Amino acid sequence: MSLTSSLHSLKISTSSNTQFLHGTTPLSLFSKPNFTPQNPPFSCLPPIRAMKTMQGRVVCATNDKTVAVEVVRLDTHPKYRRRVRKKKKYQAHDPDNKFKVGDVVQLEISKPISKTKSFLAVAVPPRTRSKKVEAAAAGDAGGGDNELGIPLESQQQQQA
87-114: per-residue pLDDT in tens? 999 999 999 999 999 999 999 999 999 9
pTM of the predicted model, to two decimals? 0.52
**Sequence spans of domains, the chain:** 54-123
Q: What is the mean pLDDT of the chain?
A: 77
Q: How far, in Å, are 11, 40, 87, 121 from residue 95 at the CA level?
A: 86, 44, 25, 9
DSSP 143: T
Has residue 118 got a pLDDT over 60? yes
What is the CATH T-level fold of the domain 54-123, as seen in this structure? Answer: OB fold (Dihydrolipoamide Acetyltransferase, E2P) (2.40.50)
CA angle 146, 149, 151 (to 5 degrees): 65
